[in-house]
């Protein structure tokens, strides 16, 4: 819902939904409009990347077979939101309130995920908490601006390399 509304607002404001087209004209938009776009993009990223308050689906997704769990954690599902925030960096740089929201959500998520990871006795749910926490760190990097983008993407890639074999070694329920 958030991503769909963000796309609609981008098209209504800029007349395009391409990143190159929007980045060329984003400076001419009001900060309020850019903040709304940024917050809506963040809502979409939260749903996709299991960030607070839209994180509850990740623990339930771990009920599936081990290969599916490994795919969710390592490559496709949870990393898309981080990529969205990093790729939309020009919007967040022009909307400091939205960028601050990314930092707050990421910080809460990385702490909450760490607590869940430590509290669960089911290995798959503990791995889900770990993934949530690590994605929170990636989002925090993305929310910190230019210096954090490269670190967020680097962490995203390395997380995929170590989480896939970790999840694959977890037994099926």
Q: How far apart are the first and last CA of the chain?
A: 33
Q: Is pLDDT at 71 greater than 90 in this prediction?
A: no
Listed residue (50, 75, 70) closest to 124, CA to CA: 70
Domain extents in the chain: 2-8+30-40+55-167
In angstroms, the CA 163 to CA 132 distance is 12
Residues whose CB falls within 8 Å of the CB of residue 165, separated by 6 or more in sequence, listed in order: none
pLDDT value of residue 64 = 67
> 117-135 pLDDT, tens per residue?
899 888 878 888 888 999 9
How far CA 114 is from CA of 64, 106, 133, in Å, comes to 22, 12, 5
In angstroms, the CA 77 to CA 5 distance is 20
Instruction: Work out the pLDDT band at 69, boundaries 50, 70, 90.
Output: low
Q: Is pLDDT at 20 greater than 90 in this prediction?
A: yes
Which pTM does this prediction carry? Answer: 0.88
> 75-112 pLDDT, tens per residue?
677 888 999 999 999 999 999 999 999 999 999 999 99
pLDDT value of residue 29 = 93
Biggest CA-to-CA distance, the chain: 54
pLDDT value of residue 142 = 94
Q: Is pLDDT at 6 greater than 70 in this prediction?
A: yes
What does the DSSP 8-state code read for residue 44?
A: H
Q: Are 76 and 156 in contact (CB under 8 A)?
A: no
In angstroms, the CA 93 to CA 146 distance is 9
**152-162 average pLDDT score:** 87
Q: Are 100 and 165 in contact (CB under 8 A)?
A: no
Return the higher-pLDDT residue of 19 and 65.
Answer: 19
**125-153 average pLDDT score:** 91
Residues whose CB falls within 8 Å of the CB of residue 97, separated by 6 or more in sequence, listed in order: 31, 35, 38, 39
């Amino acid at each position: 819902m958030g991503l769909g509304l963000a796309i609609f607002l981008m098209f209504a404001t800029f007349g395009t939904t391409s990143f190159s087209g929007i980045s060329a004209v984003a400076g001419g938009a009001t900060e309020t409009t850019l903040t709304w776009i940024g917050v809506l993009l963040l809502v979409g990223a939260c749903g996709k990347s299991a960030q607070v308050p839209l994180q509850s689906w990740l623990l339930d997704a771990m009920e599936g077979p081990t290969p599916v769990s490994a795919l969710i954690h390592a490559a496709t599902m949870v990393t898309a939101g981080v990529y969205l925030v990093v790729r939309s960096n020009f919007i967040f740089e022009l909307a400091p309130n939205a960028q601050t929201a990314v930092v707050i959500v990421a910080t809460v998520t990385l702490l909450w995920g760490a607590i869940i990871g430590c509290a669960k006795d089911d290995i798959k749910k503990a791995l889900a908490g770990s993934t949530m926490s690590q994605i929170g760190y990636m989002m925090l990097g993305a929310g910190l601006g230019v210096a954090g983008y490269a670190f967020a993407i680097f962490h995203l890639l390395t997380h995929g390399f170590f989480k896939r074999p970790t999840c694959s070694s977890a037994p099926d329920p």
